[in-house]
Amino acid sequence: MTNALRTLSAKAAADLDRELMSSGAFSLDQLMELAGLSVSQAVYRVHPPSSKPKVLIACGPGNNGGDGLVAARHLYHYKYQPSIYYPKQPKNELYERLVVQLKDLGIPFVTDFHAALKDAHQVVDAIFGFSFTGEVREPFPSVISALAATSLPVLSVDAPSSWDIESGPPSSGPGKDFHPTALISLTAPKPLVKHFKGRHFVGGRFLTKKMADKYGIDVPEYEGVDQVKELGQGWLRAWMRGADEEGN
Amino acid sequence: MTNALRTLSAKAAADLDRELMSSGAFSLDQLMELAGLSVSQAVYRVHPPSSKPKVLIACGPGNNGGDGLVAARHLYHYKYQPSIYYPKQPKNELYERLVVQLKDLGIPFVTDFHAALKDAHQVVDAIFGFSFTGEVREPFPSVISALAATSLPVLSVDAPSSWDIESGPPSSGPGKDFHPTALISLTAPKPLVKHFKGRHFVGGRFLTKKMADKYGIDVPEYEGVDQVKELGQGWLRAWMRGADEEGN
């Protein structure tokens, strides 16, 4: 499976993040800046600001939400008109600073997701990432239902929110029919991608070959100074063939 | 002078940095990551890795050197072969982490600048930035003399090292005849740019309009997702004309 990118389980993704921030000597500030930058570049690839300037960014309470906050700042500088839905803002020094940076740009924080959705051209789903398990808690069930129902383009960060990281779309609940139009996998695709049919990007251009080998993943072939790489349609077929050959 | 970018004095640049990190709520990690990313994109614009892969990055003891360390990591991921000359490594948690990140990529740290220069295709001068004043201290005089004498392309970060931030090239000393081929001004050009004749970029795509207005500078017209903007030949003439009109 030499031309197949390999995937990273939820546990391995958490281990890799911990290793990047311990022996890898990255700070969370730095990693989140690079992750959010990748997200913003994926948004730009799919719908540049000339076509869909109004981006509604739904941010969850953890690091996935933080990536969304960083992406929003970059999108503003690319001349989008971002707005943020961030209903659960934990007491966290980094997230609080990212919020100040957005407020200094005059970026609105909305409280009614459904009203904001009516005014948006596209959505970034930065609600839950690779550490999501179990139930979708309030106020997110109705948000995820709305994302499942909307005809707007949705780009999910690392995982379509409410999907199981290993097994993909839930068999019941608000995310049952949620199939976003695009996905950006951070550092490496998670196993859920085999259920994903939209445009698929990988971001996070800081992974060393040594770390990639240790975790059984690949460093994508980024081009130029790009911080994202789109995986072509052939990738998933190659990946599934590779998985089959290994008896998975 | 509506089409002239305005400049930032050394004192104003220091004040702006402090304000970004206090009320602006940016961390130094974040700002340095974005500055170094800009530097790496300027290097790519001038000489892509296919033409001049071996980049020698000379890093000074302060934040200018830190920007160089970040740039080196990005350049590695763009498929350059960076090497680092970093003779004065202060005890500083952020710089130490940036060094670990480079060593994890196998990027060599060289101790003999002159030998390393013979093997390089191009150089990044990240020795001194906007806080430089006075004398060039050891071991940098001979390094700056070598940069003045080399026929290799040199890109300076924020200032040609040893230049006075306000008045430009020194009238004596190792930097007397140092005219790098390219310059990247971070956040805004410094007054020394009126003495600079090479390719000129601006980077640091995080400045708010409010801050730019407060400091009497302009937000460059970046394109797409670019983190750098090249200022055309017309810019300096327009800037000097504007300065003349204001009686400067």
The boundaries of the domain holding residue A181 are 10-243
What pairs with residue B185 in β-bridges? B202
- Return all residues near A11 (Cβ < 8 A) that are at least 6 apart: none
Residue A101 with chain B: CB contacts under 8 Å: 24-26, 206
Helix H or strand E encompassing A35: helix A28-46
In sequence order, what E strands does A81-219 have? 81-85, 109-110, 122-126, 154-157, 182-186, 199-203
Q: At what angle do helices A10-21 and A28-46 cross, to 10 degrees?
A: 130
- How confident is residue B6, by pLDDT bands cut at 50, 70 and 90? confident
Neighbours of A67 (CB within 10 A): 33
Tell me A31's DSSP state: H
What pairs with residue B58 in β-bridges? B85, B125
What pairs with residue A183 in β-bridges? A156, A200
pLDDT at B241: 59
Reference A120, options A81, A160, A66, A79; nearest CA is A81
Please give the Cα distance from B95 to B98 (Å, whole number): 5
Query: Pairing mode, if any, of strands B109-110 and B54-59?
Result: unpaired
- Asked if the structure places residue A248 within a domain, the reply is no
- The count of domains in chain A is 1
Please give the Cα distance from A23 to B223 (Å, whole number): 36
Phi/psi at B201 (nearest 5 deg)?
A: -115, 155
How many CB pairs lie under 8 A apart between chains A and B?
A: 77
A225: nearest CB among B27, B34, B78? B78
Q: Are A31 and A205 in contact (CB under 8 A)?
A: no
**Can you read off the two tokens belonging to residue B197?**
């004749």
**In the block, which residue shows the tokens 């490594």?**
B89
Q: Are A17 and A30 in contact (CB under 8 A)?
A: no
Supply the mean pLDDT for chain A: 93
- Return all residues near A118 (Cβ < 8 A) that are at least 6 apart: none
pLDDT at B90: 95
Tell me B168's DSSP state: B
- Asked if the structure places residue A73 within a domain, the reply is yes
The ipTM value here is: 0.94
- Asked if the structure places residue B4 within a domain, the reply is no
Please give the Cα distance from B1 to B8 (Å, whole number): 15
**A74 in reach of chain B (CB within 8 A):** yes
- Return all residues near B222 (Cβ < 8 A) that are at least 6 apart: A77, B205, B228, B229
- Asked if the structure places residue B70 within a domain, the reply is yes
- Asked if the structure places residue B103 within a domain, the reply is yes
A25: nearest CB among B23, B26, B100? B100
Cα B5 from chain centroid? 18
Average pLDDT in the B96-115 region?
98
A67 annotated ligand binder: yes
Please give the Cα distance from A75 to A52 (Å, whole number): 12
Please give the Cα distance from A193 to A190 (Å, whole number): 6
Q: Do A206 and B100 touch (CB under 8 A)?
A: no
- Asked if the structure places residue A4 within a domain, the reply is no
Average pLDDT in the A68-93 region?
98
**A115 in reach of chain B (CB within 8 A):** no
A24: nearest CB among B74, B96, B101? B101
Average pLDDT in the B98-121 region?
98
- How confident is residue B235, by pLDDT bands cut at 50, 70 and 90? low
Tell me B195's DSSP state: G
- Return all residues near A155 (Cβ < 8 A) that are at least 6 apart: A39, A42, A43, A46, A122, A123, A124, A125, A180, A181, A182, A183, A184
**B237 in reach of chain A (CB within 8 A):** no
Q: Do B26 and A101 touch (CB under 8 A)?
A: yes
Residue pLDDT, tens place only, A169-195: 999 999 999 999 999 999 999 999 999
Q: Do A24 and B104 touch (CB under 8 A)?
A: yes
Calculated CA dihedral for residues A95, A47, A235, A145, nearest 10 degrees: 60
Please give the Cα distance from B83 to B152 (Å, whole number): 15
pLDDT at B247: 39
- How confident is residue B232, by pLDDT bands cut at 50, 70 and 90? confident
Average pLDDT in the A20-38 region?
97
**A208 in reach of chain B (CB within 8 A):** yes
CATH value at residue A32: 3.40.50.10260
Which residue blocks in A124-196 are alpha helix, DSSP H? Answer: 140-149
Q: Do B225 and A73 touch (CB under 8 A)?
A: no
Q: Are B199 and B46 in contact (CB under 8 A)?
A: yes
Q: Do B40 and A210 touch (CB under 8 A)?
A: no
Please give the Cα distance from A76 to A81 (Å, whole number): 6
pLDDT at B2 over 60: no
Q: What angle do CA B6, B11, B12 make, to 5 degrees?
A: 40
Q: Give the mutation candidate from A28, A79, A225 for the B interface (greatest B CB count, under 10 A).
A: A225
A33: nearest CB among B23, B34, B94? B34
For A193, half-sphere exposure in the C-beta direction (CA atoms, 13 angstrom radius) is 32
- Asked if the structure places residue B217 within a domain, the reply is yes
Please give the Cα distance from B94 to B63 (Å, whole number): 10
The predicted model scores a pTM of 0.94
Cα B36 from chain centroid? 9
B17 to chain A, minimum CA–CA distance in Å?
14
Phi/psi at A182 (nearest 5 deg)?
A: -145, 155
Average pLDDT in the A1-14 region?
78
pLDDT at B246: 45
Q: Are B43 and B75 in contact (CB under 8 A)?
A: yes
